[in-house]
C-alpha cells in the first residue's frame, strides 16, 4: 500500500510521537489515541488501514479493547507490547489481533505490515 492511514494507540506520548514521525516521513497519515476509549471513538469517526494497539493503557487495556475495535473496523489490529510472553501473544491473537509486535518496536517490520495491506477497493 502506497499511503496508509494508521491509528497508534499508546498512552506514552513519546512512543506515539516517534512512531508517527517515522511513518509520516514515509508518506503515511497517522492519528494517535491515548487510551481505549479514544481509540474506539477514532475508529467510529475515521477509516484506518492499520491499528497499532499497546496493551498497557489507562482504564481498559488494549486486549480488553480488541473486541470492540474488531467490531468497528476491518483494518488489521496489531498489538504492541513489552509483555511478549507466549500467553500474552496467544491472548491477543484469540481476541482478534492480526499480529503481535514486541517492544521496542522493529520499525521496518511495521513498514512491512503496511506494504502487505491490500490497496483501496
The arithmetic mean of pLDDT across residues 42-50, rounded, is 98
pLDDT digit string (tens) for 61-74?
A: 999 999 999 999 99
**CA-closest candidate to residue 38, choices 51, 25, 50, 27:** 51
Question: What predicted TM-score, i.e. pTM, was given to this entire model?
Answer: 0.95
Over range 35-63, report the average pLDDT: 97
What's the mean pLDDT in 45-64?
97
- Residue 118 is predicted with a pLDDT of 87
Q: List the domains of the chain with CATH numbers.
A: 5-116 (3.40.50.2300)
Whether pLDDT at 1 is above 60:
yes
Q: Which SS3 state, helix, strand or coil, does residue 81 take?
A: strand
| Residue 107 CB neighbour total at 10 angstroms | 14
Amino acid at each position: 500500500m502506497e499511503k496508509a492511514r494508521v491509528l497508534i494507540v499508546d498512552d506514552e506520548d513519546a512512543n506515539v510521537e516517534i512512531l508517527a514521525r517515522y511513518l509520516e516521513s514515509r508518506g503515511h497519515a497517522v492519528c494517535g489515541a491515548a487510551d481505549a476509549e479514544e481509540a474506539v471513538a477514532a475508529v467510529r469517526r475515521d477509516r484506518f488501514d492499520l491499528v497499532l494497539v499497546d496493551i498497557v493503557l489507562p482504564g481498559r487495556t488494549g486486549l480488553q479493547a480488541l473486541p470492540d475495535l474488531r467490531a468497528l473496523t476491518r483494518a488489521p489490529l496489531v498489538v504492541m507490547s513489552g509483555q511478549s510472553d507466549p500467553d500474552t501473544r496467544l491472548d491477543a491473537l484469540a481476541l482478534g489481533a492480526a499480529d503481535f509486535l514486541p517492544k521496542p518496536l522493529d520499525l521496518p517490520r511495521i513498514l512491512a505490515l503496511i506494504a502487505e495491506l491490500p490497496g483501496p477497493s
